[in-house]
Amino acid sequence: MLYSLYTRRLRRQLVGLPKPQHVAIAMDGNRRWAKRAGYDDVRIGHRFGAEHLELFLQWCADAGIPCVTAWVASPSNLRKRDADQVDYLMNLTETVLAEHVRRDNRWRLHVAGQLDLLPDSTARALKEAVEETRDRPDAGDLTIAIAYSGRLEVLDAVRSVLDEAAADGRSIEEVADALSEDDISRHLYVPGLPDPELVIRTSGELRMSDFLLWQATGSEIEFCDLYWPAFREVDLLRALRTYGRRRLERSS
């Protein structure tokens, strides 16, 4: 009851404030959440976390945010964590995440990251979901960042600029002379999206950790102390309020 009053109040406070078109979320703290909730198996945190993303997408759609990027895992998460945790996470990606986007026609799916680091079945499930959701009119853009590193994304972009130039028969000197920010932007994993104006990281970690290195140079950052599965709609609305007030102040 109090919660829904508070939600309504926050929604009212957002009226007339600048709103981000693109929100990126680093969904951190799943295992800590599971431990605190008394689960011995920390993978349960990832299950709750994956299901939580569905709610988050619903809240974003309700708030009129047409573009969302969600960070699932970095290459080093996949390399360094126990195989049973990684397998479980990949399975969730296939069965919860990819499946959800197939059913929920409010989103077109994009995938950002080093897909060759994923098991074949996961890469395939994501690619199929991307294909299946491609032609949805009026849908928002959801990017799943998986096996994703911002530095590697920029490296990959530079590589593909060079590959393109080589295919066109241009010399290294010509490429170096003409290289622009736009060239890098055009070769990111998902070109054509607006930069995220708001990045949220949960769990109290105060780092960007290689998330959207190129895209987030001008983003407002919201660090939230809650573990990801505990993040609520009011926390999103509060982040949007902070964002709106900061931008309004700067523009005045």
Nearer CB in complex with ligand IPE: 89/97: 89
Tokens of 115: 């897909």
Phi then psi for residue 106, to 5 deg, are -80, -5
What is the arrangement of strands in the sheet containing 107-112, beginning at the earlier edge strand? 107-112, 140-146, 67-73, 22-26, 198-201, 220-223
Q: Which stretch binds ligand IPE (CB under 6 A): 1-9, 13-21, 28-36, 127-135?
A: 28-36
Cα dihedral value 155, 20, 225, 9, nearest 10: -170
30 is in an annotated binding site: yes
Number of residues interacting with Mg ion: please give it, by CB under 5 A: 1
Q: Using DSSP, state whether 88 is helix, strand or coil.
A: helix
Residue 157 binds ligand IPE (CB under 6 A): no
> Is 91 known to be catalytic?
no
238 is in an annotated binding site: no
Site for ligand IPE in 37-96 (CB under 6 A): 73, 77, 89
Residue 28 binds ligand IPE (CB under 6 A): yes
- Residue 41 CB coordination number (10 Å): 14
C-alpha 179/C-alpha 177 separation (Å) is 6
Of 19, 26, 28, 212, the one binding Mg ion (CB under 5 A) is 28
Residue 188 binds ligand IPE (CB under 6 A): no
106 is in an annotated binding site: no
The answer to whether 11 and 238 are in contact (CB under 8 A) is: no
Tokens of 94: 């296939």
Nearer CB in complex with ligand IPE: 48/189: 48
Q: Which of 40, 41, 62, 77 is catalytic?
A: 77
Q: Which of 28, 91, 141, 235 is catalytic?
A: 28
Count, in order, helices (H) and strands (E) of the chain: 11, 6
By CB under 5 A, name the binding residues for Mg ion: 28
Residue ranges at the known binding site: 28-33, 46, 81, 201, 207-209, 220
By CB under 6 A, name the binding residues for ligand IPE: 27-32, 73, 77, 89, 203
- Active-site residue set: 28, 77
Residue ranges at the known binding site for Mg(2+): 28, 220
